[in-house]
Amino acid sequence: MDNLNDLISYQSGSVVSKELVRKDTGTVTLFAFDKGQGLSEHTAPFDAMVYVFDGKAEVVISGKPQALKSGDMVIMPANEPHALNAIEQFKMMLVMIKS
């Protein structure tokens, strides 16, 4: 059994990703964001679930910001613009299931 925090590490000034599962039907990817880092607004063709397992982040979905902390999750609907910003260092798991 693995602890999510042990599977990925922070790097200063960076966003680090580690793909755990890649299948035709979807992916599971871990991310570690240094404070102030983020992903600019974009869309994805499939629903995606974000689970924050360390730190604090702001997720903006269709222009609506949501503050997330360790233990929180949110669904980002397919084709809706979304962005992520690290309020402080944070780690998340992104699960995307293709339909």
CATH of 4-97, one of 1.10.10.10, 3.50.50.60, 3.40.50.300, 2.60.120.10: 2.60.120.10
Average pLDDT for residues 62-91, to the nearest whole number? 97
Q: Is the pTM of this model over 0.85?
A: yes
Q: In the chain, pLDDT over 70 holds for what percent of residues?
A: 100
The pair of three-digit structure tokens given for residue 63, joined into one six-digit string: 């222009």
The per-residue b/e assignment along 69-87, b for 16 or more CB within 10 angstroms, e otherwise, is: eeebebebeeeeebbbbbb
pLDDT tens figures, 41-52: 999 999 999 999
